[in-house]
């Protein structure tokens, strides 16, 4: 498995090198790329959690501010908040290591329209992950666990392959489950922040792969290599998609 992963890492590194030859992305083309993936990531990440907006409806909402009748207002709040959090991760992609406060800000931006009191605040109660055989840590452990997680983020960024680092960050964050809701969305935004900090494209998990994604995340409690491989393959697909757009 490790040898297979290393080959896959080499493959995404070759795609990254190919994309790097087309840089720098500036001006209108940079704006178009960011907006294209903002819609794709916002739609897919929300859809994985049961949001009913289609990709077209997400695009119309984010670009034109228009809503479609009959959809739950929460679905619009989730899309609007996710787009704000997406813009934020690009604003902090350079510089100091990812901090605990930045993770709180990602959640606050995503969740503020849904529940302003709990946005950016660690949970004060236990949560149960439906379908999982594993319990989440008790709420009183959140400050300690998240502090340790932030230290891991800072110390591990230069020690792991960037895509493995991003996948591990996703896994570790979800296992802590620090917020009352929105942990999956924040995990995927955090994962993508890890990727763009190192010059990689984001990874998008299409809703059609929801079952595989959840199953591998559950299995990652015992063996996380298949989950890392899954995330690496999602990054590869986004790289190929970007090259199709640019070539």
- Angle, vertex CA 142, rays to CA 139 and CA 143, nearest 5: 135
Please identify which of the residues 82, 161, 170, 177 carries the catalytic annotation.
177
161 counts as catalytic: no
Active site residues per annotation:
177
């Amino acid at each position: 498995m490790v040898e297979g992963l290393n080959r896959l890492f080499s493959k995404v590194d070759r795609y990254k090198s190919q994309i790097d030859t087309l840089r720098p992305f500036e001006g209108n083309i940079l704006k178009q790329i960011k907006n294209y993936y903002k819609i794709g990531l916002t739609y897919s990440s929300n859809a994985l959690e049961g949001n009913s907006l289609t990709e077209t409806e997400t695009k119309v909402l984010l670009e034109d501010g228009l809503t479609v009748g009959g959809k739950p207002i929460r679905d619009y709040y989730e899309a609007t908040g996710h787009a704000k959090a997406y813009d934020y991760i690009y604003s902090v992609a350079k510089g100091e290591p990812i901090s605990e406060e930045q993770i709180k800000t990602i959640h606050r931006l995503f969740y503020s329209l849904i529940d302003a009191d709990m946005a950016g605040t660690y949970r004060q109660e236990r949560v149960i992950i439906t379908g999982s055989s594993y319990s989440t840590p008790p709420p009183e452990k959140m400050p300690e666990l998240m502090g340790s997680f932030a230290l891991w983020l800072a110390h591990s960024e230069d020690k792991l392959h960037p895509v493995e680092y991003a996948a591990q960050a996703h896994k570790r964050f979800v296992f802590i489950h620090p917020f009352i809701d929105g942990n999956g969305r924040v995990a995927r935004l955090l994962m993508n922040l890890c990727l763009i900090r190192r010059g990689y494209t984001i990874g998008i998990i299409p809703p059609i792969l929801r079952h595989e994604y959840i199953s591998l995340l559950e299995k990652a409690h015992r063996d996380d290599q298949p989950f890392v491989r899954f995330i690496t393959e999602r990054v590869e697909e986004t790289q190929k998609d970007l090259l199709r757009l640019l070539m």
